[in-house]
């Protein structure tokens, strides 16, 4: 039997206040302060890492980003994750351990961009590419009200790129244009000619240079590099043993339902017996 969650009326009022700020679904973010950053394991290291703005209204204003994401590229693995969420988890965990007598803990510390009160699979999933096994694994942290997090692995997807002669400069790097059709959407990418790394944000890769910008033809999803760092950086991984395996297609279906009709999907009801919010439109990045 589906567990019912009794909603306080405040949640519905809060939902209306934040409606204009959220570009996707209305699923509530998971509770902060539950991820132990001290138990992360170092699985690799990298000498370059790339930060990408997701759906920035103003690329110069971090508060206008839906998310700030980071790509770390090692010899054996690459990791793609939300820096906003990682930073918040870290700050809340440190705060909680310093103030153990506190009656409550803060939900947010540090910048989190637009729609910070809501869950999004693009902010709460981490992607690890395993070069030796040619696989990519998504560790999907689910929203409040879903008891179990999920994971799946698939063969690292390939994009059939067409390279064009067009060029553009992105954060000081001369880039060349490439286009492809991938999982239901048409994409344009710009890859750096002077950084011969075959990788990019999210699941993108396969070009003779690092992808510094990529977007679909409707510009629903835009990843643009805003920072490149050089040095020696550890690639760390949480203990994901509690995550439940799931097929990719089933996870996509669940994520779509959560974005479109969150409260009904988690089996919620209002304490006053009133109507739950209507479903909202949602455009997933993967259509197939």
* DSSP per-residue letters across 131-147: TTTTEEEEEEPPPTT--
For a pLDDT cut of 90, what percent of the chain falls above it? 70
pLDDT at site 275: 87
**CA–CA gap between residue 184 and residue 285 (Å, rounded):** 8
pLDDT of 103 reads: 61
> So what's the pLDDT on residue 112?
80
pLDDT in tens, 24-47: 577 998 887 678 788 899 999 999
pLDDT at 10 (0 to 100): 34
Contact 52, 224 (CB under 8 A): yes
User: Residue 101: what pLDDT?
Assistant: 64
Q: How much is the pLDDT for 91?
A: 86
288, pLDDT greater than 80: yes
Nearest Cα to Cα of residue 200 among 133, 150, 127, 135: 127
Q: What is the pTM of this model?
A: 0.89
pLDDT band at residue 250 using 50, 70 and 90 as cut-offs:
very high
CB contact at 8 A, 118 and 112: no
Question: How far, in Å, CA of 214 to CA of 187, rounded?
Answer: 7
* More reliable by pLDDT, 104 or 128: 128
pLDDT tens track for 169-210: 999 999 999 999 999 999 999 999 999 999 999 999 999 999
pLDDT for residue 104:
67
pLDDT for position 4 = 44
C-alpha distance from residue 187 to each of 57, 76, 127, 183, 194 (Å): 19, 27, 20, 10, 22
Contacts 24+ apart (CB under 8 A), 213-216: 213/168, 213/170, 213/175, 213/189, 214/187, 214/188, 214/189, 214/190, 215/187, 215/188, 216/185, 216/186, 216/187, 216/285
How do 125-130 and 135-140 pair as beta strands?
A: antiparallel
The whole-number pLDDT of residue 102 equals 65
pLDDT at residue 8 in the model: 36
Hey, where are the domains in the chain?
5-52+67-157+227-270
Give Dmax (Cα) for the chain: 61
- Confidence band, pLDDT 50/70/90 cuts, at residue 94: confident
Residue 223 has pLDDT above 70, yes or no: yes
Neighbours of 276 (CB within 10 A): 15
| pLDDT band of 97, cuts 50, 70, 90 | confident
Cβ partners under 8 Å of residue 188, min gap 6: 177, 178, 179, 214, 215, 217
Average pLDDT for residues 232-244, to the nearest whole number?
Answer: 96
What is the average pLDDT across 41-62? 97
Dump pLDDT digits (tens) for 124-179: 999 999 999 999 999 999 999 999 999 999 999 999 999 999 999 999 999 999 99
Q: Which ranges of the chain does DSSP label H, i.e. alpha helix? A: 9-18, 83-98, 248-260, 262-265
Token reading at 111: 């910048």
Q: Is the pLDDT of residue 96 over 80?
A: no
Q: What is the pLDDT of residue 24?
A: 58
Is the pLDDT assigned to residue 12 strictly greater than 90?
no
With a cut of 60, say whether residue 22 has pLDDT above it: no
């Amino acid at each position: 039997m589906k567990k019912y969650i009794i909603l306080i009326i405040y949640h519905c009022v809060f939902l209306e206040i934040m409606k204009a700020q959220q570009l996707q679904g209305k699923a509530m973010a998971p509770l902060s302060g539950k991820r132990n950053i001290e138990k992360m394991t170092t699985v690799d290291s990298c000498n370059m890492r790339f930060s990408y703005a997701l759906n920035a209204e103003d690329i110069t204003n971090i508060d206008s980003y839906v998310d700030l994401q980071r790509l770390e590229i090692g010899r054996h693995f690459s990791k793609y994750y939300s820096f906003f969420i990682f930073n918040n988890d870290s700050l809340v965990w440190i705060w909680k351990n310093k103030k153990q007598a506190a009656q409550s803990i803060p939900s947010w510390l540090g910048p989190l961009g637009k729609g910070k009160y809501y869950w999004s699979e693009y902010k709460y999933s981490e992607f690890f590419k395993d070069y030796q096994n040619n696989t990519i694994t998504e560790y999907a942290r689910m929203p409040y009200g879903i008891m179990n997090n999920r994971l799946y692995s698939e063969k690292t997807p390939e994009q059939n790129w067409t390279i064009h002669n067009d060029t553009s400069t992105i954060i000081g790097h001369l880039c060349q244009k490439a286009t492809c059709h991938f999982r239901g959407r048409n994409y344009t990418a710009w890859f750096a000619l002077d950084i011969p790394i075959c990788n990019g944000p999210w699941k993108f890769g396969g070009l003779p240079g690092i992808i510094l910008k990529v977007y679909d033809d409707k510009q629903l999803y835009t990843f643009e590099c805003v920072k490149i760092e050089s040095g020696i950086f550890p690639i760390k991984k949480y203990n994901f043993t509690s995550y439940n395996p799931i097929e990719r297609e089933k996870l996509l279906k669940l994520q779509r339902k959560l974005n479109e009709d969150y409260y009904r999907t988690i089996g919620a009801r209002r304490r006053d017996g009133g109507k739950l919010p209507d479903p909202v439109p949602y455009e997933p990045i993967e259509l197939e």
